[in-house]
Amino acid sequence: MSRTRTRPVLAVAALGAAAALVLSGCVSRDGGGADADAAFPTGTITMFTPTQAGGATDLTARTLASEMESILDTSIVVENRPGGAGSVGMQHLAGLSADGHAIAVLPVEVSMLGHLDYEIDPADYDFLGQVNAQPGTIAVPASSPYETLDDLLAAAEEAPGSITVSNAGAGSIWETGAKALGAEAGVEFQGVPFDGGAPAVTAAIGGQVDAVVASVAEVAPAHDDGRLRVLAVFMEERAPVLPDVPTATEQGQDVVIGSWAAIAAPTGLADDVKATLEAAISEAVESEAYVSFVEDAGNIPQYRDAAEATEFVLAEHERFGALLAG
């Protein structure tokens, strides 16, 4: 194999040049810079999610993307950028150019992480619409002595810190949900963070903890077959999938908290691009495929337009600032 002694460096250089020529037709990695005159969208739109493929946020993105593809008549690729509780993907989005070809489904964490020592600020994003709501609940094992929210709060008041409440993880929305309830009722729970929502709910089913704070979707199946008893939902009205469970407000505790997802772009979108995307999102959210996807999972296809969503996210950001400081 050592018979031909061509100079390798030269060969490599020539090869690189040739390949560059061949591939010069290909789209560059950063996506084509949109022509100012051309109507948006001018190429493929990338929809990021700051989560792993296969999770709830990812499936939301993929369902919406396939609807928006036909509305905008362009291809939309979903790209996962997980890590750092979502901060990696969010920071990635904030660093991209605001031409409308980079958008993302951002979960509630976008309004929380800034208070948890991550460099995330909702002001870095233009919010184009809220696409769902996942209200919180508090539930106890079926064998629990606590029949109502008041029973549970009374027990927590009697012996502060004795009532263990599992949640989806340190810094998760459900840990904050338990804190919010505690703050409203003036009692102290012993939070037990698990690695995700499902293990937290299972710990309550198995009776390892006294209660769990989780989303409606996560507890509704277990409530229906009698393994868990949901004591309250943290929303303005009763949840459609749990019509027999009163809200916390009905029981005298004004706690409304939950997870949600919104579509966002890096800040600084042109007005017409923003309007096009906002319209496409509002249409996609109403599509039958999307609505049944959200409702089948037990969530609520709540929509807010760009202006309302922006206001909502900023209000959430402020409120979590107060809650998470405590």
Partner 1 sequence: MTPVLEGIGALLDPTILLCLVIGTLLGTLVGAVPGITATMAVALAAGFTLTLEPLQGLAVLLSIYVAAQFGDRVPAILINTPGTPASIATTFDGYPMAKAGRAGVALTSSALVSAVGSLAGILILIFLAQPIAGIALRFGPIEMFALVAFGMTMMVGVSGGRIVKGLAAGALGLLLGAVGRDPISGEQRFTLGIPELSSGVPFIAVIVGVFGLAEVFNQIVEARSGRAAKPIEQLGRWWPDRAERRSLVKPAGIGAGVGAVVGVVPAAGGDIAGIIAWDQARRASKHPERFGKGSLEGVAAPDTASTATMGGSVTTTLAIGVPGDSVMAAMLGSMIVWGLTPGPALFVQNPDLVFSIATIMVVATVAALGLSLVRMQGVVNLLKLPLNTLAVVIITFCMVGTFAVQNSVFDVIVMLVMGVVGLGMRRWGFPAGPLVLGLILGPLAESNLRRALLIDGPFAVLGSPIASVLIALSVLALVAPHLLRILKGRSAARARSTADAP
Partner 2 sequence: MSAVAEQTVREAAEEAVGHPEAEPRRATRAAETAIGLGVVALGVGAIVAAQQLADLHAGGDFGGRWWPTVVGGCLAVLGAASVVSGLLRPPAVDVEPLRRTGVLQLAAILGLVVAYGIAWQYVHFAVVTLALVAAIMAVLGGRGWRQLVLVPAIVTAVLYGVFGLLLRVPL
Which residues in this chain contact partner 2 in the complex, by CB under 8 A?
Answer: 1-6, 8-9, 11-12, 15-16, 19-20, 23, 26, 28-29, 46, 77, 79
- Report the half-sphere exposure of 67 (CA within 13 A, side-chain side): 23
229: helix, coil or strand? strand
Interaction of residue 216 with partner 1, rule CB under 8 A:
no
Lay out the site mask for partner 1 across 218-257 (x = CB under 8 A, - = otherwise): ---xx-xx-x------------------------------
Query: Of 26 and 36, which has the nearer Cβ to partner 2?
Result: 26
Query: Of 31 and 84, which has the nearer Cβ to partner 2?
Result: 31
Interaction of residue 59 with partner 1, rule CB under 8 A:
yes
Look at the alpha carbons of 170, 266, 33, 283 in this order and tell me if their dihedral is positive or negative.
positive
Interaction of residue 72 with partner 1, rule CB under 8 A:
no
Interaction of residue 115 with partner 1, rule CB under 8 A:
no
**Residue 28 backbone class (left: φ over 0; alpha: ψ -120 to 50; beta: rest):** beta
Interaction of residue 196 with partner 1, rule CB under 8 A:
yes
Q: Which member of 160, 206, 240, 252 binds partner 1 (CB under 8 A)?
A: 206
Q: Which does 187 bind (CB under 5 to 8 A by kind): partner 1, partner 2, none?
A: none
Cα of first residue to Cα of last residue in the chain, in angstroms, is 71
Closest separation between CB of residue 79 and partner 2, Å? Answer: 5
Interaction of residue 83 with partner 1, rule CB under 8 A:
yes
CA pair distance 85, 45, nearest whole angstrom: 24
Interaction of residue 32 with partner 1, rule CB under 8 A:
no
Closest separation between CB of residue 77 and partner 2, Å? Answer: 7
Burial track 293-308 (b if 16+ CB lie within 10 A, e otherwise): bbeebbbbbbbbebee
CA pair distance 249, 199, nearest whole angstrom: 27
Interaction of residue 58 with partner 1, rule CB under 8 A:
yes
CA pair distance 14, 28, nearest whole angstrom: 21
Pick the piece of the chain touching partner 1 (CB under 8 A) from 3-11, 14-22, 85-93, 102-110. Answer: 85-93
Interaction of residue 56 with partner 1, rule CB under 8 A:
yes
Tokens matching residue 206: 């198995």
Closest separation between CB of residue 305 and partner 1, Å? Answer: 26
Q: Which does 203 bind (CB under 5 to 8 A by kind): partner 1, partner 2, none?
A: partner 1
Interaction of residue 54 with partner 1, rule CB under 8 A:
yes
Tokens matching residue 258: 């939950």
Report how many residues bind partner 1 under the rule CB under 8 A: 55
Q: Which does 219 bind (CB under 5 to 8 A by kind): partner 1, partner 2, none?
A: none
β-strand pairing of 102-107 with 45-49: parallel
Tell me the C-alpha to C-alpha distance, in Å, between residue 126 and each of 136, 268, 283.
26, 7, 19
| Residue type present at position 302 | Q
The DSSP result for 130-171, as a single string, is EEEEEEEEEEEETT-S--SHHHHHHHHHHSTT-SEEEESSTT
Interaction of residue 53 with partner 1, rule CB under 8 A:
yes
The DSSP result for 66-111, as a single string, is HHHHHHHTS-EEEEE---GGGHHHHHHHHTS--SSSEEEEEEGGGG
Binding site for partner 1 (CB under 8 A): 1, 52-56, 58-59, 62-63, 66, 78-85, 87-88, 91, 116-119, 164, 169-171, 190-196, 198-199, 201-203, 205-206, 208-209, 217, 221-222, 224-225, 227, 293, 296-297
